[in-house]
Amino acid sequence: ETQRVYSLLDESESEGAQRRLIEFIQSKGGRISASKLTQSYRPCRERGMAKEVLDQLVSDGYGQWEQPPQKGRGRPPAPELVLVEVDPSVS
């Protein structure tokens, strides 16, 4: 626990923002589309920002894009970022 607290105190502003984003996505079941993130996460309300930050999570190894199956007719659902398990001891 002490190590976790010290790591929080030592994180940069961008690391803190990324950690809070990951925690938010985890609270939503570990998956979210860019449009849902724009609607529900205040720091990503700016147009295009949600896709950008989700792409960054993918490139940093925290998630991957998945295409949900289409249910019925109409437009296919938007791709969703799905968080992947990351070993917390590796940084």
Residue range 64-83, pLDDT digits in tens? 999 998 888 888 899 999 99
Comparing CA positions, the residue from 45, 25, 20 lying closest to residue 35 is 45
For the record, the structure tokens of 11 come out as 């994180």
The single-letter code of the amino acid at 57 is L
pLDDT by 10s per residue, the chain, length 91? 666 565 666 667 888 889 899 999 999 999 999 999 999 999 999 888 999 999 999 999 999 999 998 888 888 899 999 999 865 444 4
Interatomic CA distance for residues 2 and 36, integer angstroms? 35
Res 15: pLDDT: 84
